[in-house]
Amino acid sequence: MDEKIAELKEWIAGSDNIVFFGGAGVSTESGIPDFRSVDGLYHQKWKYPPETILSHTFFERMPEEYYRFHRQKLVIDGVQPNRAHKRLAELEAEGKLRAVITQNIDGLHQAAGSKKVLELHGSIWRAYCSRCRKPYPAEQMNHGEGVPRCSCGGVIRPDIVLYEEPLDQDILSEAVHYIRHAEILIVGGTSLNVYPAAGLINYYRGDKLVLINRSETPYDRYADLVIHANIGDVFSQI
């Protein structure tokens, strides 16, 4: 393990074109559960499975139940960026990291100081009316009660990509651009099970694909360096 981290450190020292692509595992150390770990949301009891609640159809049909889940499970008060978020922000400030591409919706990369953050699945810190698209502050949506409504009568929704909804094409294209031109692509804290996001790795053309994850992923065999460890532990050493 130490040798792998030493190798990664050496690669990072020699590059000014690193791109990071991450998922829910980046934020577990901050106290936000992921989906697929044993203590993740998929293993917690709820009336409906998370992928059902977090779908477009469910949001349209049962916004009350959606909002109960949203406020209890997606919005966690007092969370702070952890060692991985902070080191990524530092690497950007040092001119080494070009972009963070994230599947997360928690805003913790920006809270840590990262500037170029591509949020593939949106953010719970933005809201808009599902009917007239008027933007709203996220506060009432995240901390109020019942279903938040717009002055037009439409339901206010989070600016996140629900299951069954397409990803923002501009963000996706930009992510492809960064990955295609990256010298080092570090992928971390993602099970690489959610498409199309997971497929972005296929655009990488270089020979320094690094995977950092607690458990195995379907892409381990394509990586040039695989580190099965806590991402916070790894980033505090590089």
Residues labelled as active-site residues: 121
**Minimum CB–partner distance for residue 167 and ligand CNA (Å):** 10
Q: How far is the CB of 216 from ligand CNA (least distance, A)?
A: 8
Give the strands of the sheet with 156-160, arranged side by side.
Answer: 135-136, 122-129, 156-160
Strands 156-160 and 122-129, by their bridges, are antiparallel
- Closest distance to ligand CNA from the beta carbon of 16 (Å): 25
Residue 71 interacting with ligand CNA (CB under 6 A): no
**Residue 227 one-letter amino acid:** I
Sites for ligand CNA among residues 209-228 (CB under 6 A): 213-215
Among 55, 104, 110, 142, binds ligand CNA (CB under 6 A): 104
Please report, as residue ranges, which positions from 154 to 173 form the binding site for ligand CNA (by CB under 6 A). Answer: none
Site map 190..209 versus ligand CNA, x via CB under 6 A: xx-xx---------------
Longest dimension (CA), the chain: 59
Cα(56)–Cα(85) distance, integer angstroms = 29
Tokens standing for residue 69 = 């889940």
**Among the listed residues 198, 202, 195, the one whose alpha carbon sits nearest the alpha carbon of residue 213:** 198
Q: Please, what sign has the CA dihedral across residues 43, 46, 51, 52?
A: positive
Q: Which is nearer to ligand CNA, 5 or 150 (CB)?
A: 5
Q: How many Cβ atoms from other residues are within 10 Å of residue 94's Cβ?
A: 10
x/- letters, 116..145, toward ligand CNA (CB under 6 A):
-----x------------------------
For position 81 contacting ligand CNA by CB under 6 A, the verdict is: no
Our separate counts of H helices and E strands in the chain read 9, 9
Length of the chain: 238
The answer to whether 36 contacts ligand CNA (rule: CB under 6 A) is yes
∠ CA 70-74-80, rounded to 5°: 145
CB nearer ligand CNA, residue 70 or residue 121? 121
| CB 124, min distance to ligand CNA, A | 8
Residue 27 touches ligand CNA, criterion: CB under 6 A: yes
Amino acid at 28: T
Q: Does 70 bind ligand CNA (CB under 6 A)?
A: no
Contact residues toward ligand CNA (CB under 6 A) are 23-25, 27-29, 32, 34-37, 40, 103-106, 121, 189-191, 193-194, 213-215, 230-232
